Amino acid sequence: MKEVKRKGARSAKDIPVSILEQLNKGEIESANLVEWLAVDQIVLLENVLNELNRIEYLEPVLIDVRNLKKQTVNTINEAIGTGILKQSVLNNDLKIVSIISKHKSDLVRCWSAYAIGRNPKFTIEEMLEQIQFLAADKHFGVREISWLAVRHNITKNLDRSFEILLKWASSEDENIRRFATEAIRPRGVWCEHIEELKKKPESALKILDLLKSDSSKYVQDSVGNWLNDASKSRPDFVKDLCQKWQTVSPTKETAYIIKKALRTIEK
């Protein structure tokens, strides 16, 4: 799926007032990271809950936001998503998570990812099945939050997650293939490390092998970054695997992945 086409401003001060107003009302998607970071999620939450006739959820969710030790875009996003999940349970509201998962605003869809990823009733199979829709989202922000939201549960269920993600790695959708590696990066970005994969990166070898010559640069970047993560604790594994791939897969795609994979080792 293609990204949103509107380029967006290069800095927050350059965002037109009318655009920021539409973003905070949930009427349009953010066009880039600058806009994504500029959205006032509290204002957006109030507008969305008004729109959905659920304004009574606002104050309980805001309490969770105020109680955050550190307020960042990601922590607020998680607190709102988790808060909406709590309200859906308390009010026997079976529809709200599904509604916000299809909302026009990308930030609102991000909340739904956390509502899925923090639901203790879901098995890892159910959680990944629910999140796949968001993993394939056309918006970059929703795709990033989708793996962040379920990473903790993937880590707790690594073996079963590998079985599921191996199937995802064969998907026709490059976004879903990319999720298969990005969600299990040993070190990752903005997230806790997966200690087992730092020590035993070979556990994910079947998934990596399947994507070693993927046609999508989006996927290639993820695989290369995965191996670069692994190289910081297991350089032997990464060097050996790259050497093997050079022989069994002499393609430009694999060469690109190998270059990214070895960038820390070859500094």
The 10s digit of each residue's pLDDT in 203-261 is: 999 999 999 999 999 999 999 999 999 999 999 999 999 999 999 999 999 999 999 99
Residues of the chain with pLDDT under 70: 1-4
pLDDT of 188: 78
* Closest C-alpha to 26, from 47, 5, 56: 47
pTM of the predicted model as reported, rounded to 2 decimal places: 0.92
Q: Which residue has the tokens 């999508």?
A: 216
Q: Can you give the pLDDT at residue 267?
A: 79
Q: Is the Cα torsion angle 107, 221, 165, 149 positive or negative in sign?
A: negative
pLDDT, averaged across the chain? 95
Residues 40, 24 contacting (CB under 8 angstroms) = yes
Task: Say how far apart CA 45 and CA 67 lie, in whole Å.
Answer: 17
Sign, CA dihedral 150-202-188-155, equals positive
Q: Are 224 and 261 spatial neighbours (Cβ–Cβ below 8 Å)?
A: yes
Contact between residue 251 and residue 258 where contact means Cβ atoms under 8 Å apart: no
